[in-house]
């Protein structure tokens, strides 16, 4: 009998959770979602390039990485993203 009461409690908890809003975020347009995806991709690429730059020893490779970071910074600036804040 206790098992039956336990499952009813779980069902009740699940029902309460489904009654609550799925997320508190506002709905974004498809264009805004695409912009956010692109921004996140650029920030991830920038982080990766910075890590590579920290260990790069050859001058040519370092220059290439610096140019790639500068290009990503340019693209982020076009989007209005501040590249000076550390990404998480």
pLDDT tens digits for range 75-88: 999 988 655 555 44
Per-chain mean pLDDT for the chain: 81
Residue 45, in any domain of the structure: yes
Residues 41, 87: contact at Cβ < 8 Å? Answer: no
Phi then psi for 67, rounded to 5 degrees?
-65, -40
Residue 9, in any domain of the structure: no
Residue 38, in any domain of the structure: yes
Residue 19, in any domain of the structure: no
- Structural domain span for residue 37: 30-80
- pTM value is 0.60
Mean pLDDT of all residues in 69-80: 94
CA–CA distance, 25 with 29 (Å, rounded to integer): 12
Residue 4, in any domain of the structure: no
Residue 34, in any domain of the structure: yes
Q: Domains in the chain: how many in total?
A: 1
């Amino acid at each position: 009998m206790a098992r039956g009461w336990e499952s009813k409690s779980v069902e009740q908890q699940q029902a309460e959770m489904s009654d609550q809003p799925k997320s508190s975020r506002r709905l974004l347009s498809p264009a805004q979602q695409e912009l956010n995806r692109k921004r996140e991709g650029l920030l991830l690429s920038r982080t990766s390039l910075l890590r590579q730059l920290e260990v790069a020893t050859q001058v040519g490779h370092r220059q290439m990485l610096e140019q790639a970071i500068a290009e990503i910074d340019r693209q982020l600036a076009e989007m209005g993203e501040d590249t000076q804040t550390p990404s998480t």
